[in-house]
Structures are given as C-alpha cells and as structure tokens.
Structure 1
Amino acid sequence: MSISKNDDPLRTFYERRHPEYHRLAPVWRFLQATYDGGRAWFADNIFKFHKEGQQEFNDRLNRAYRFNHTRETVDLVQKYLFKAPVSRSEDAPQVVKDFWENSTLSNLNIDSLMRMSTASNSVKGRAAIFVDNNMREGGMTIAEARAAGIRIYAYLITATDLLDYAWDEEGDGGLLWVKVREFVRDDKDPIASCGDIIERVRLWTRKEWILFEEVESEVDPLKRSKKKQKVIREIDRGEHNLDVVPCVFVDHNVGDAPYAVPGLIDDIGYLDRAVANYLSNLDAIIQDQTFSQLAMPAQAVMPGDDEYDAVLSMGTKRVFLFDGAGGKPEYLSPDPKQAQIILTVIEKIINEIYHTVGLAGERTKQDNAVGIDNSSGVAKAYDFERVNSLLLSKAQSCENAENKLVQLVCKWANIAIPTDKLVQYPLTFDVMRLADELSVGEALGKLAAPNEVRREQMRQIVDKLFPRLKKDLREAMEKDIKTWLEGEDLVLNPPSSFGSKPATSRSRQGSVTAKTPTK
C-alpha cells in the first residue's frame, strides 16, 4: 500500500504533528542540547555583542567554556530521587519479576529504565515507555516462550519523537492511539548494507501497530517520466489485541495535562545560557586586560610606516591613533569594574538556578571551590521542604508509571492483573538513616512516649529494615506491632533500653510502684 506525494491522506498522516508539538519542539531541542553540552552548543548559543568584529567573535567563541549547571541540576535530583530503595513486592508474578530483572532489549533492569525516563522528563516534561514483545506470530505458553527466548521488554521514547496521540474523552479516558518516530540503521550486512539512518513512523492503536516509511517509488516503464518519487509505504504491521495502547507516560510531575507538561529545566536552561554568555564576555575583558591596546599620537607615526597606511587587525599589535601633538603612547584596557559587575551577576544567576529546585545547599555562595553554603538552618529547612515536595511529586509519577507497566506486562503475558500495587516509591526523602530511626525510637522509650507513637515509629523502622517484604510476612509483623507494648504502664523514667519493660515510675506527689505485667 503506497500513496504518492501528490495524494494527501497517508502523507498528511505521516507528516502531521500535534499542534503543541510545533510550539514546543524548538524549546525541547534547545533544552536537550543545553543538557548534553559539548562544543557544538557554543556555536548556537554564544551571542555576538555590538561593536565586535567577526574575527574577534570567532576567537572568543573558540575560547568559550561553561560549567553545565543544567546537567548538574538534573543529576542532583536523580541522586536524591533514587537514593532510597524502591519497594517492589515479592508477591509479584514471575513474569513481572523477569521483566524487572531485564526490562529492555539490552538487558537493563527496571531501575535503569526509570532513571532514563526521569532524566528525559526532567528535560522535556514527558517521556513515554512502550511495552512490547519479540514474538510476532502465533501464541505459546510462558514456558514455551521462555524456552524460545521470547520475552516482554520496554523501550523509551522521548518527547521529541512522541509526534501525536489522542485520548478517549467519551470512554475510559485512556489513549486511543499514539504515533511515534523511530530511527533504524541499515547495518545487518557489514558489506552490502548502506549504513544509512532511516526514519520511520509507528502507529500504535488499542488492537494493532502499523509501521510506515518514506521510500522511493519504482519507475513505471510505460510512463514517459523516469524520475522517482518519494512515497509513504506501509512496511509492517501486527496485532496485539490488548484493548489498550501499550504505552505509559512518565511525567516530571503528577498532573493531568493532556500534552504540554512542564519540565525541571524549563527556566534553568535559559539561565544557564546566560551564565555561559557572561563568562564569555568576562573572558574577552581578561583578554583585553592581558593584551592591552596601544594608543599613540598620529604625529609620532611617520609616513611609510605600516601603522600609517592601515589600522592593524586584532591582536597584540593593535594600535589606536589619535591627534595629540606632544602626547605620549599609552596602553588602553577595559575598566576592571566591568569584570566585577559580570562576576556579581554570574553569582546571582547560579544561586537562583539551584534555589529554583531547593538545592542551594549543594552549591556555594561564591563559586564551586569555596565550600558549602553558610545559610541559616531555617533557610536550609525551607530549601529541604521545596526539594522534598519536588521529589515526592516525581516519585508519585514514577510509582504510577511502574504500576501501569506491571498491568501491561500482565496483559502481554495473558495473566490476571494483581489487585494490589506491587511498586511503592518513598513517601518522604528526608536524610534520616536506619541508625537515626533507632536512636529516635530509643529516645521515645526513655521519654515514655505513648505506646501508639512508639508503634508507629516501629513501623517506620520495619519499612527501612525490610523494604521488600512479602504481603503475608508484612501482615504478620503488623499484627505483632499492634500487640507490642500491651500491658505496660506509661512511665516518666523507664530504663534506657529501647523497648524494655519499665519497673517503676515517679509522679509529681511522690514515688509510686508500677505494676509489673505478669508473664
């Protein structure tokens, strides 16, 4: 099936993009380039300032440098987000456990897949994970599929390749179809293959997938024109009959935005570019300070000299002539106050970059080499609340996405979908470790805190000790915690050992002997 370029339907579909895509695609490309860095970035993002010659600008461009604050911000959020272990239930079906162990065709596990998706949505706001298998025809049992090397896998599609999709507004609210762009390389035969990168478009629906490619049409010998045309051709298709589009969106923050989702570095990328340009301007001032311009009276230049015939180009031999009889030659250089202004602005912008996400404590107030920020404890507490809120929203988005992936894996394996959530991300990202929790529990015992307070503390300790407990074992521990400390009287001065049973207490009126529970 093929349609020529002069016919509209298939080509219109192939080239169509969501209306928001045209608006956001240039922004996504800029943010991705700013995150990636590299020398090619400077050619598009270092700007020529007024009264600057082309040669001066080229020299300044070659000297340009930057610290990639955009990548640093994303990496810091990633570090905190995946610092605490993700709880994945041991009660999960074996096919789901296999998927967690080898989630992609390159055998990356689920943690690596989610790290890639969160890094992508930090840059562009949204990423998509598709679940597929490498069996194209027929059906087989799970044992037969494992013996044949058939397995379920997932792959990541970034926002720039997520071309268009539609929602079922009248039904369940899920995806009706998704159109994505894929790139493959003709490299199967090391000798005969051309090695070209080929662009394709894949349409996923609730029942099937269809793959399209733009190719050159065959020349019709009966036609006078022998010129080949580009046509859109369907090159493959397959059915999955899952009744859903096997796609899960992973957003930067939890929300219900249908298409445009804000990312982490929407503003940081532009602030980072401003820092790079100011650093380049500062470099120009340093160069002019080091290689000052010679200014001398024109009367001191005799006819026939090179300076008399033409003004020299940029470099250490640059000479500025002026009409000044009796004057003496001098070297001109920029005002050092200009450099100080630029340094002050750079410091403020860098500070704002990390304050934006509550990571000011990771940076210094002056530069990257002075030491840690000396903000007050209250200020750092507010910064922590900001970053904790960001991490919590991002973790909830990841949790929702992973549980949807579990459902898709079960659909592909044709097994029952678990009713309970199998994946849980942390609910807080405080810096308390297990040893800190034990210290708090011991302090609660010394203070004779109410039993229910100590039980809740014990639940937190259990969660950090055993994040991946099976459901039956967790229920048994919960039952023990509920009956823990029963029969104990509240005391003001219990023994120092955490969880031990007190013997005596002292009231405001005098000594009172507490009841000792019978064994």
Structure 2
Amino acid sequence: MSESTFIFNSRHPEYVAHAEAWRRARDAYSGGTEYIHKALIKHVSEISMEFEERQQRAYYFNYPRNIAQRITQYALAVDPVRAGASTELVEDWSRSGLRVNEVMRQASTLLNIYGRAWLFCGAPAFEGAVDRERAERERLRPYCVALSPLSVKDWAYGDDRRLLWAKIEEMHTYDSNPAVMRQTVRRVRLWTRDRWELYDPLTSEITTGANPTGVVPLVELIEPDGFGIEANHWFEDVVRISDAILNNESEAQMNVVKQMFGMLVVSENFQRGAAKAMPGGKKTENDSFSAVVARSAALVESPEEKGISRYISPSGVETSTIRAENANLKQELFDVVGLAIQSRSREAQTAESKAWDFQNVTQFLANRADLLEQAELRAWEIMNLWDGSVPVPQVTYNRKFAVRDLEKNIAGLLQLSNVPGTGIEYRKAALGIAVELLDAIGSIPDDRKKALLKEIEETRPAPVPELNFGSVDNDDPDNNQGDDDETE
C-alpha cells in the first residue's frame, strides 16, 4: 500500500467505532425526504405499492434538530465576555463572515449531535513580505472554524497529551476557470507540529508547507460523560426515539387515509367472473385484480361468508392509540436529555423534584459553558501562535441560567412583597430575592449587583408623618388668623 493510499484510508479506532452512528445523527438532524426514506420501516406484510405511498405521504417532526439547537440556545443565551479581544476578529472569526459567537454555537451544536467536535485554527498561505496594507487587502490573518468529527479522520496524542498529528478531510472544488468543467474532490491534509502535507487525488501531487505554530492547530471538544467511559453518545437514543415517532405518525396518517377510502372486499364469485371476462378467460402475470384494487390490496371471501362486495376500514381507536403513544414518546424524548424541567402537570410536581430538575439542567449547562470557554481560549492561543499581533483575550462564559419558571417566581415575589404588617427586614429580603431573579434573567455585572445589594441593605424605614387630630394651638398665628376671619 502506497503512502498516499494509506493517508487517505487510515481511520482512528474511535472514528471507526462511531462513524455509522455519527452519520445517522447527522442525517436525522438534517431531516428531509432522504432521511424519511431511510428511517421508515416497511412491514413484513406490507406490499411495495402501499409502502411507496406511505413514504410519499410521510412527514418528519425534526426533534433531534430542536433538541440540539435548544441546548445551544440555553448555553449561549448570554454572550461571553472577551476582554482584550481584537474587534475585527470577533466580528469575523472564520474569515468567511462568521463571528466568534456563531462559530462557537456551531461547535456547541456539533457537540450535541456527535458528542465530539473540533475547532481548526489556520491561516492563509502567502508568499513574500506582508505589510499592514497587504494584510488588510488580502485578509491575511488567522481564522477559526468548527469541524464535525466526520471531517477529522485520524489523529494521535503525544506523551505531553497534546496532538502529535491529525488528518483532516477537505472537500475542494476546482472552479476558478470558467472555461473548464468544475470538479469536486476529497482531499486529505496531514498536520504535524511543524508542517503540513496535502494529498490531492486529482493531481496526484503532495503539496507541503511549514507550520510555524509548533502545535497541531486543532482543538478537540468532547463530552466527558459518555465517551469518557467508552459509552455511546446520548444523541443516538434521541434519534431512535425520534425514528419511532416518525414511523408511528406515518402509521396513524395511513390509518386516517384508510378510514376515508376503506378497503374493498369482494366475493369469490365476483372474482371468478372478472377473471373469465378477461381475454382468453385466463389470469395473466400482469393481472393485478386479485392483488390490487383501487388504492389497496383487496380481500376475497367465499359465498358462504358475507357474499357481498363492500368497503371496510380501520376504526379510529387505533389512530388515537398511536397518537397517544407518540405523545408519551415525545415526553420521554425530552426527559432523555434532561430538558423536561417540569412534568406534564406542574402542580403535581413536588418541590423536591423541581429542585432536582433545576440542578440537573443548570449543572449540565454550566459544564457545557466551561467546555466551550476552555476550547475558545485554546483557539485564541493557537491564533496568537500564527500571528503574534493577535491578542489572547480573557474569555468568560455565562454560568447562570434562567431555566426556572420566572413568571411564577416573580408573581409570587410581588405577592409576598405586599403582605401587610411586615417590617423593613422582610422587605429587604424580598428585594434581595428580586435582585437574584434579575441576575438570573440578564446576568447583572458583579459590581452593579453589589451596588444594588448595598442600596437595599442601607434602606431605612420611611418617616412616620405627624398626625393632627384638630386641636387648637393658641400660640399658632395661623389659628389666630383663622379666628379673625371667622369673626369677620
């Protein structure tokens, strides 16, 4: 086996173990007609014509995409703080118009889908000296993009627990010449700590270049739960439950269709008469009467039975049962990923279960924020190795998440604040809780939060106004004046 062939075909053992599940998760996230045809299961007794119709009628509720995106939306609901970052790079981190937040959202969603994601930090190749004007004109600066694990085929770590080398698959389209038909090829680029090699099957050439960073410019993101104990990723279970909902919904839909149109039942005498009426009085291989009539397979019964032709259809009980099962599956689907922070009945949920769910979700999101923060910081450090003028910012991700029922909490707080007969200390406690709720919603800066809490603590009771019960003070000139006026 030649070196180029080995470079193209070698795969990391973890890639080999999970590639099939990764592709299935990717297809489930993408959805569409192609995935419906892949995920729908044909019954053992289902004829091809009915299955084809069911495929054409089927529709897909894309729960995998909903879940993957929702986790990212919660985890990155508040923009991270990047003190000292280059404004230009923050606004275009990928060199293709994607900001830092958008690249990190991509990485987070990839992590949800696959349980593993990569950040690649590169720089465009150039020759000759580069001044500031040329750098701005040709946009010669480092960049960072998110990669799925399907793009990183093989890798290895050294004794220092840093990447020793990695192979990245690149889909490249040759279309710079409008007079030549475009061609898209799968190239593989091998990165080591001091150089890179590009293998192109179209040209059969190996292009090489220097890697001045001294590191493999990749950052691996991996969920510690799951792959850390050599387990499958939880998103596989999400896909399987989603597939079950798809198949159940398809069955319910076809039941509705059959209720509208029904299935034809004919007598044996009618069947024989129809067969005799055909040319030659014989049934040919192309005769579809006994197999298919109208929209579905026909049932044949003997004269000893009903003896009459009629339509039958399934009752509505089966359809309602399927829909109820799908409702249960949907609930279980969100329970699997810990997103169901309430039961179906919020009133039925105990205080202990609510507290447990709240801690479960917030801890998951806090771990995700910590993972993204470390990965982004490492990406900035690699970009700095490409170009020393790129500052390494202080990156801070939000770790406070408003996943409680804030509307009810605030309403309850307002009711408690209006309890009659309470003193200043009670009101201070209520105001302190209000500040914590505001912090949960909008992440108040620490200095401002301290100022608010100090202001609450320094609150004093309002002065009690003096009460006048109508007594007359003879020394008061106003009272005397009032007497004179009355005399007049």
> What TM-score range do you get, normalising by the shorter chain?
0.7 to 0.9
Establish whether residue 245 from structure 1 lines up as the match of residue 216 from structure 2: yes
Contact 1:282 1:342 in 2 (8 A): yes
Question: Mapping of 1:117-266 within 5 angstroms?
Answer: 117-138=107-128, 140=130, 145-146=135-136, 149-168=139-158, 170-171=159-160, 173-192=161-180, 194-215=181-202, 232-234=204-206, 236-251=207-222, 253-254=223-224, 263=233, 265-266=235-236
SS in structure 2 opposite 1:203?
Answer: strand
Instruction: Name the CA distance, whole Å, in 1 between partners of 2:30 and 2:379.
Output: 28
* CA pair 300-142 structure 1, distance change in 2 beyond 3 A: closer
SS in structure 2 opposite 1:39?
Answer: helix
**1:351 paired residue among 331, 334, 337:** 331
Structure 2 match to 1:221: none
**2:73 paired residue among 75, 79, 90:** 79
* CA pair 48-144 structure 1, distance change in 2 beyond 3 A: closer
Residues 133-190 of structure 1, C-alpha deviation per residue, up to 9 Å, x if partnerless? 224345656676346532221122211111011111x22x111111110011111122
Instruction: Name the CA distance, whole Å, in 1 between partners of 2:219 and 2:31.
Output: 29
* CA pair 144-287 structure 1, distance change in 2 beyond 3 A: closer
* CA pair 113-328 structure 1, distance change in 2 beyond 3 A: same
Establish whether residue 290 from structure 1 lines up as the match of residue 247 from structure 2: no
Contact 1:185 1:195 in 2 (8 A): yes
Instruction: Name the CA distance, whole Å, in 1 between partners of 2:53 and 2:118.
Output: 42
Instruction: Name the CA distance, whole Å, in 1 between partners of 2:141 and 2:66.
Output: 36
Contact 1:445 1:454 in 2 (8 A): no
* CA pair 72-8 structure 1, distance change in 2 beyond 3 A: same
* CA pair 75-462 structure 1, distance change in 2 beyond 3 A: closer
Contact 1:185 1:196 in 2 (8 A): yes
TM-score w.r.t. length of structure 2: 0.77
Instruction: Name the CA distance, whole Å, in 2 between partners of 1:187 and 1:445.
Output: 77
Worse-matched range after superposition: 300-309 or 30-39: 300-309
Instruction: Name the CA distance, whole Å, in 1 between partners of 2:110 and 2:225.
Output: 17
* CA pair 8-102 structure 1, distance change in 2 beyond 3 A: same
Residue 314 of structure 1: how far off its partner (Å)? 4.3
Residues 171-210 of structure 1, C-alpha deviation per residue, up to 9 Å, x if partnerless? 2x11111111001111112222x21211100111111221
* CA pair 257-98 structure 1, distance change in 2 beyond 3 A: farther
Structure 1 match to 2:46: 52
Establish whether residue 409 from structure 1 lines up as the match of residue 383 from structure 2: yes
AA matched with 2:331: N
**RMSD between aligned alpha carbons?**
4.0
AA matched with 2:209: G
Structure 1 match to 2:239: 269
Structure 2 match to 1:447: 425
Instruction: Name the CA distance, whole Å, in 1 between partners of 2:362 and 2:217.
Output: 31
Establish whether residue 502 from structure 1 lines up as the match of residue 450 from structure 2: no
Instruction: Name the CA distance, whole Å, in 2 between partners of 1:460 and 1:283.
Output: 46
Structure 1 match to 2:399: 426
SS in structure 2 opposite 1:447?
Answer: helix
Instruction: Name the CA distance, whole Å, in 1 between partners of 2:122 and 2:188.
Output: 16
TM-score w.r.t. length of structure 1: 0.73
Structure 2 match to 1:113: 103
Structure 2 segments unaligned to the other structure (5+ residues) = 284-288, 464-488
* CA pair 301-203 structure 1, distance change in 2 beyond 3 A: closer
Contact 1:254 1:396 in 2 (8 A): no
Instruction: Name the CA distance, whole Å, in 1 between partners of 2:390 and 2:267.
Output: 92
Instruction: Name the CA distance, whole Å, in 1 between partners of 2:184 and 2:151.
Output: 15
* CA pair 355-298 structure 1, distance change in 2 beyond 3 A: same
Instruction: Name the CA distance, whole Å, in 2 between partners of 1:324 and 1:114.
Output: 71
Question: Mapping of 1:467-478 within 5 angstroms?
Answer: 477=447
Residues 360-379 of structure 1, C-alpha deviation per residue, up to 9 Å, x if partnerless? 369x96xxxxxx97763645
Worse-matched range after superposition: 407-416 or 133-142: 133-142
Contact 1:81 1:391 in 2 (8 A): yes
Instruction: Name the CA distance, whole Å, in 2 between partners of 1:400 and 1:11.
Output: 36
Structure 1 segments unaligned to the other structure (5+ residues) = 1-6, 217-231, 366-371, 468-473, 486-496, 506-519
**Larger relative helix fraction:** 2
AA matched with 1:386: N
Identity %: 20
* Structure number with larger C-alpha Rg: 2
Instruction: Name the CA distance, whole Å, in 2 between partners of 1:385 and 1:425.
Output: 16
Establish whether residue 398 from structure 1 lines up as the match of residue 398 from structure 2: no
Establish whether residue 8 from structure 1 lines up as the match of residue 6 from structure 2: no
Structure 1 match to 2:483: none
SS in structure 2 opposite 1:136?
Answer: coil
AA matched with 1:240: N
Instruction: Name the CA distance, whole Å, in 2 between partners of 1:257 and 1:48.
Output: 33
Instruction: Name the CA distance, whole Å, in 1 between partners of 2:441 and 2:339.
Output: 27
Residues 255-294 of structure 1, C-alpha deviation per residue, up to 9 Å, x if partnerless? 6958978545221011111111111222232233222223
AA matched with 2:24: F
Residue 34 of structure 1: how far off its partner (Å)? 0.6
